[in-house]
Amino acid sequence: GVEATRSIRQAEVGATRTMLEKAKDRFDLHPERLIAPLIDCFAINCRAADTAYGSGPMLGWLVDRKIAPHIPVIDKSDRQDGTWSRDDFEWDADNDQFICPEGHALKQFRRNYSDPNRGQTGKGRAKYRALKLTCQACPSKQQCCPNAEARTITREEHEDARQVARDIAKTKQYETSMKLRKKVEMLFAHLKRILGLRRLRLRGPNGANDEFLLAATAQNLRKLAKVFPAPQKPQSA
């Protein structure tokens, strides 16, 4: 399948969805897992990070459709200054709270609001806060939140799906997937080096789509020729 896009994340993610839907509609194919290759940006000859597919909405979309995301998660929660990052806090789903390394709860809400608009929505980003008094008296404050009165942690939208992807990344099958994706990357390299798609000749998204469709057809024919080689003519005596 081919779906040419501009080299922006939203378009690439949209193309992935379109290709999966096409595979379902045309061939009734439902993949068990999706392996994201490194993305090749043909126009300016660069390789974008392989995490473009690892955004929360994309992972949520895949997990909702029971497609296992073998994709590195986009995660900006790691801290570079040596203080504790979100991974050091335990998520307690039953009580909708994080537990800090000192055993205290970080909550989104600490009282029941009579106005439902002010309460928990279950959607979007959510902020969880520790109690100011607890943090002020905590022996680990320097390690946790040296510049704030109390520790705050953000839980991203689609965090459950992001956790699914993180858990998959620790499995043997994920290691296999990372090896398999090299096969796809070889096809990209072949497109650029052998089929000359370093630059496109046709303009606009439709032109790009036409060129990629022809190139992918050529690649498939080449593969077919390898799988089913032409019968050899018998040598004349």
CB nearer ligand SF4, residue 151 or residue 162? 151
CB nearer ligand SF4, residue 71 or residue 100? 100
Within 16-55, the residues that bind ligand SF4 by CB under 6 A are none
Q: Which residue has the tokens 């501009």?
A: 6
To ligand SF4, the closest distance from the beta carbon of 138 in angstroms equals: 3
CB nearer ligand SF4, residue 151 or residue 158? 151
Q: Which residue has the tokens 């469709």?
A: 213
- Residue 90 phi/psi, 5-degree rounding, is -90, 135
* Of 64, 4, 1, residue with least CA distance to 39: 4
Instruction: Report the C-alpha gap between 42 and 67 in whole angstroms.
Output: 28
CB nearer ligand SF4, residue 103 or residue 124? 103
- Residue 2 phi/psi, 5-degree rounding, is -135, 135
To ligand SF4, the closest distance from the beta carbon of 107 in angstroms equals: 11
Whole-number Cα distances in Å, 82 to 89, 137, 147? 15, 21, 13
Residues 6+ apart with CB under 8 A from 103: none
Using CB under 6 A, which of the segments 70-78, 120-128, 136-144, 204-212 binds ligand SF4?
A: 136-144
Choosing from 50, 96, 102, 160, the residue that interacts with ligand SF4 (CB under 6 A) is 102
- Residue 153 makes contact with ligand SF4 by CB under 6 A: no
* Of 78, 35, 41, residue with least CA distance to 54: 35
CB nearer ligand SF4, residue 7 or residue 143? 143
3-state secondary structure of 235: coil
To ligand SF4, the closest distance from the beta carbon of 206 in angstroms equals: 54
CB nearer ligand SF4, residue 150 or residue 168? 150
To ligand SF4, the closest distance from the beta carbon of 151 in angstroms equals: 4
Angle at which helix 204-227 crosses helix 172-193, to 10 degrees, equals: 110
Using CB under 6 A, which of the segments 13-21, 141-149, 157-165, 216-224 binds ligand SF4?
A: 141-149
| DSSP letter (8 states) at residue 115 | S
Instruction: Report the C-alpha gap between 192 and 189 in whole angstroms.
Output: 5
Our measurement of the distance from residue 104's CA atom to the centroid of its chain's CA atoms, rounded to an integer in Å, reads: 31
Using CB under 6 A, which of the segments 98-106, 108-116, 167-175, 201-209 binds ligand SF4?
A: 98-106
Choosing from 51, 108, 140, 219, the residue that interacts with ligand SF4 (CB under 6 A) is 140
The residues binding ligand SF4 (CB under 6 A) are 100-102, 104, 130, 134-135, 138, 140-141, 144-145, 151
